Structure 1
Amino acid sequence: MRPATKDSAVTAAYSLGWALVRHLPERLGRWAFTRIADHAWRRRLGGVRQLEANLRRLLGPDATPAQLRALSRASMRSYLRYWYELFRLPAMDPHHILDRTRSSGIEDLQARLRQGRGVVAALPHMGNWDHAGAWITLRGTPLTTVAERLRPEGLFRRFTAVRENLGMEVLPLTGGTANTVGTLARRLRSGGLVCLLADRDLTAQGVDVVFFGEPARMPAGPAALALTTGAALMPVSLWFDGSCWGIRVHEEIAPPSHGDRAARIRAMTQEMAHVFEKEIAQHPEDWHMMQPVFTADLAARPGEG
């Protein structure tokens, strides 16, 4: 199959999935996605091996293989729940999204926005971050976010359109016609909300941190944007709470009063990593990190060290 034809087939398959999932009874849809999760877990397909390598750091050296496998299975089921809900989000009743979300700390975030101060909300790959974006826009707070450019291009455009229809402004990480970092800075200086996934560096220019007792790399962008614009850097953790969703907005990470710019960014990113660490430990099955984060794993991949 030629690349262009293959790309079209992939985009068409995802589009068909979106259409079918919306019309399936919810119980049947959730059952089907759980079965997909279990199949991938048993066969260790996709990123399951890397997921287990990441979860091994969380569990510590005394964890048994059985404990690791049980956690990775739960995490895969949580991850496929994310995908199922992403496909269904455009058709979900807004009242359902609002009524089933349990949140804390959101008042502090919105108070800063009302005062005209921008906020950088930094999120790990936990729970359902697309739901969180839809939820806060339904509360009347617009947001801007950045999306990794997927292949094929048609699939990237489809994901972008879904998020935009939910009320989010979506900027491409690479390949856009505008300066993404400059646009984010303008949104923050005008008192806007910028939401960024922040537990995996995609630029190979990230910040070295200690994460679960081991060297890891996280993006410098959230701290750098907050420092440059004067916006508040506020970590946000997400998890699944039965049939509901949990969201916690944490206290602002203030810039250190001493040190050069690079040192201050490192310190803020390390503090953000500590918050993520504690929250992931509370909800380990809802951390969907299928890519390398820890330095040892990055060094094992050519071009990612």
Structure 2
Amino acid sequence: MKDQLTDALYGLGWSTVKKLPEPVAVRLGQRIADTAWKRRGKSVLRLESNLARVVPDATPARLAELSRAGMRSYLRYWMESFRLPAWSKDRIRGGFAPQDVHHLENGLASGRGVILALPHLGNWDLAGAWVTTKLGVPFTTVAERLKPETLYDRFVAYREGLGMEVLPHTGGSAFGTLARRLRAGGLVCLVADRDLSASGVEVKFFGETARMPAGPAMLARQTGALLLPVTLWYDGTPVMQGRVHPEVEVPETGTRTEQAAAMTQQLADAFASGIAEHPEDWHMLQRLWLADLEPRADGADSGPRPDAGSRPEPHCDDSSGTEKP
């Protein structure tokens, strides 16, 4: 029943929200966000806990302000995503204004293949639609298997409709397919700031230890593709902003594991720079740091657990191709 209700709600969003005038959709998103924020549920409290690490000198009032803005940003993501299938190509082209796109364009022109790695900032789907529409470049990603199957099918159809090739992680074949796309000079995009496998790479993130997936670094190392961090944010206008960061290069020395760890740390540093500048647009409503995953006094499982408020994201964690929600 819960799965059916979830599927129905997503279906209602795509069928109804996309028909609303944009100002109405914006106000609706803000109203839902404010209501959720006022209820102080687990997702809001987790968001504030995460933001407290990003802005360690913030007062309780400042954290509350940031979390409210964060929930509004998160609902803006959903309202935009529900409406993206109805946006014109001109609206998509004008809806995103990234900086330093030459890193991406030069990488694609080189024929080496490019991996774009992003944190949970802004609207990943809008950035992807901009790449396929404005630049005319298709790309490949992976998608988690959702329950019910009809909900998974909705997300695959939605993203394929925006010009993305979506690979299921079932069978562990995603990594190999991504590698083939890159060796052919293609583009791969992955959200890469959260690992749920308990086997990711440990990184220092805002002064504490977290795990992040090694997949982007391993792909770059094995295929020779460029690995480019990307950060996104909103600036109070209808146009989302973004930055393509310089290449994360493969270290000249070290074992494969050491090289992947060093590259993943560089990704974490690039993500942190964007998150620190725009903390309200980091939609991390789940546990991230290892300190939050330590065993509780009652001896409960200390492993990563999905919290409320998660959204289906394209991830690839390591050479096995296993992808994360």
Shorter-chain TM range is: over 0.9
Aligned to 2:230: 236
Q: Deviations over 1:40-61 (max 9, x none)?
A: 111123522211111110011x
Give the Cα–Cα distance (whole angstroms) in 2 for the partners of residues 130 and 203 of structure 1.
24
Of residues 267, 270, 276 in structure 2, which corresponds to 1:272? 267
Identify which of 44, 51, 54 aligns with 1:58.
Answer: 54
Q: 1:145: which partner in 2? A: 141
Q: Which residue of 2 aligns with 1:125?
A: 120
- Alpha-carbon contact 2:17-2:79 (below 8 Å) kept: yes
Give 3-state SS (helix, strand or coil) of 1:47's partner.
helix
On the 8 A contact 1:120/1:226 being kept in 2, the answer is: yes
**TM-score normalized with structure 1 length:** 0.94
Query: After superposition, what is the alpha-carbon deviation per residue over 1:114-166, rounded to whole angstroms, capped at 9, x for unaligned?
Result: 22111111000000000000000002111111223222221111011100011
Q: Name stretches of at least 5 consecutive residues in structure 1 with no aligned partner.
A: none
| Structure 1 partner of 2:87 | 92
Alignment equivalent of 2:72, drawn from 62, 72, 77 = 77
Shift of 1:9: 3.4
1:191 has 2:191 as partner: no
Classify the secondary structure of the residue corresponding to 2:41: coil
Q: Letter of the aligned partner of 1:172 in structure 2?
A: P
Q: Say what the alpha-carbon RMSD is for the aligned residues.
A: 1.5
SS of equivalent residue, structure 2 residue 121:
coil
2:111 to 94, 116, 133: 116
Kindly tell me the number of residue pairs found equivalent between the two proteins: 298
Q: What is the CA deviation profile of residues 240-270 of structure 1, one whole-angstrom value per residue up to 9, with x for unaligned ones? A: 1321011211100101111111111111111
Find the counterpart in structure 2 of residue 223 from structure 1.
Answer: 217
Distance 2:301 2:167 in 1: 28
Q: Which residue does the alignment assign to 1:296?
A: 291
Q: Give the stretch that moved more between structures: 42-51 or 22-31.
A: 42-51
Deviations 1:204-241 (A, max 9, x none): 21000101111111111110111011111100011113
Percent sequence identity is 55
**Contact 1:40/1:46, CA 8 A, preserved across alignment:** no
Using the alignment, how far apart are the partners of 1:178 and 1:64 within structure 2? Answer: 45
Alignment partner of 1:205 out of 199, 202, 213:
199
- Residues 7 and 152, structure 1, Cα contact 8 Å, conserved in 2: yes
d(CA) in 2 for partners of 1:20, 1:265: 44
Q: 3-state SS of the aligned residue for 1:246?
A: strand
SS class of match (2:196): coil
Q: Is the 8 A contact 1:164 1:170 kept in 2?
A: yes
Q: 2:6 & 2:200 partners in 1: Cα distance? A: 31
CA displacement at 1:18 relative to structure 2: 1.2
Unaligned runs of 5+ in 2: 305-325
- The aligned amino acid for 1:235 is P
Q: Are 1:102 and 1:247, in contact at CA under 8 Å, matched by a contact in 2?
A: yes
- 1:97, 1:202 → 2: CA distance? 32
Matches for 1:249-264 after TM superposition, within 5 Å: 249-264=244-259
CA-CA distance at 1:177 after TM superposition: 5.2
Residue 22 of structure 2 corresponds to residue 22 of structure 1 = no
TM-score normalized by the length of structure 2: 0.88
